[in-house]
Chain A
Amino acid sequence: MKGDTPGALGLRLWGRGMSPTYARADSSGLGERRRSRQKAMNSDKIDQIINTHQGQASSLIQVLMEIQEVNHWLPREVLEKVSEQLEVPLSRVLRIATIYKTFSLTPKGRHEVHICTGTACKVRGAQRVLDKVQNLTGIKPGETDMDDKFSLETVNCQGCCTLGPMMQIDGKTHSRMSPAEIADALKKYE
């Protein structure tokens, strides 16, 4: 079954069905290409992360978070490995990995753009910032562009409402963004 072309079949038939988080990335086989390119996550690193937690099942979320931090997404084979090593059923690993927004089951771009849509940022014009970023990058929240350069996400209040509308790129906060400043900010990233 591994040789199938999930991109072609998957999306239509999955619909709201199983593994939506996997299916979404697979339109036009893009996810497939990206996946093969980004397979770099080596298993030594995973072993290392699991070892620091002494392979305890109770640290499942911690382990997943650290892998997410290093790799920016959680490939299926990594989840299988974690499930094996921590002796947690794969079903539970999948449930945890799909329930939290922190975890991504689809490959992410090199730079993660987070736009705050909390109440304060919203009234200060977060929508305009979001529109502008969407315009410039050509992606919607939750998506990654063709060159794996940016991933766009909307986030809730980051706790710095006086800086709104606020945009974070790779954890660096860009405050009081006006749509005009966004292009300059995005240009700095390769």
Chain B
Amino acid sequence: MSKIILIIDGKEVEANEGMTILQAAQSVGIVIPTLCHHELLEPYGGCRLCTVEAEVRGRTKLVAACLYPVEKDLIVRTKSQQVDKIRKMILELLLAHAPDSRELQDLAKEYGADKNRFGKEPSFCIHCGLCVRYCAEVTKKNAICFIDKGTTREISFIPEIAAKECWNCKECFSLCPTEALQAAFVLAQALAFPAPTE
């Protein structure tokens, strides 16, 4: 496998072909904040918090580090005024949904995000898809899914499968960046009041 040399934050980094910017950065200990990323799962690019500046042949563009593959002579800046501004905005928007999330609050402190900037609409779910993807890709149970679309999109356990599988698993609970209790609530709801099947 051929090695690719790229520059991240002024530092020369050696990466393998097919790696993403995020993986390359993590291999040398450069921290890029993420919410929807998980090592065991396929990259998703849902939260966009890992947005970085990528410079290719003199042109700079904003890309999601968890999705963008490394290439030769790529120059990456993980911190810049513009990147910080974008992350701050993303955090403020997410905080409107999950104002009490520890993980979000810590990040908000770092980027100076104001959790009261937007009117609160606590749905707790920030649609990172970690639970849904973990259930599909790692445990392969497919007990939880996204339903509906747009502003009404939400996670939902499938009662028939959840009743059999979830009680002994619950691995998705700890993945949630907002509040593990929320998943517990949705699960309990699915088990106690399954959608009418008749």
- Tell me the A residues contacting B by CB distance below 8 Å: 1-2, 4, 6-7, 9-10, 13-14, 16-23, 26, 31-32, 35-36, 76-77, 80, 89-92, 94-95, 98-99
Contacts and interface: CB of A to CB of B under 8 A. Distances in A.
A151 B188 CA distance: 33
B149 A92 contact: no
A98 B149 contact: yes
Contacts of B154: 16-18
Contacts of B149: 98-99
B193 A89 contact: no
A9 B147 CA distance: 21
Given A10-B196, A13-B193, A36-B198, A90 B161 contact: yes
12 contacts: A4-B194, A13-B189, A14-B189, A17-B186, A18-B147, A21-B148, A31-B196, A76-B195, A91-B143, A95-B147, A98-B147, A99-B148
B148 A92 contact: no
B144 interface: yes
B158 interface: yes
Q: Give the interface centre of B135, B145, B163 by most chain A CB atoms within 10 Å.
A: B145
A94 B159 CA distance: 12
Interface residues of B, number: 29
Contact of B193 (A6, A31, A36): A6
B175 interface: no
B151 to A, nearest CB: 11
Contacts of A99: 147-149
B136 interface: yes
B186 A18 contact: yes
Contact of B156 (A10, A18, A35): A18
Given A14-B193, A90-B142, A20 B152 contact: yes
B196 A32 contact: yes
B197 interface: yes
B190 interface: yes
A151 to B, nearest CB: 19
Contacts of B136: 89, 91
Contacts of A32: 196, 198
A14 B156 CA distance: 11
Contact of A22 (B142, B146, B196): B196
Interface in B150-173: 152, 154, 156-161, 163
B193 A9 contact: yes
B197 A77 contact: yes
A89 B142 contact: yes
Contacts of B196: 4, 6-7, 10, 22, 26, 31-32, 35, 76
Contacts of A14: 189, 193
Nearest to B197: A76
B193 A91 contact: no
A16 B153 CA distance: 10
A176 B147 CA distance: 37
Contacts of A90: 142, 145, 158, 160-161
Q: Give the interface centre of A1, A4, A77, A90 by most chain B CB atoms within 10 Å.
A: A1
Contacts of A23: 195
B31 to A, nearest CB: 33
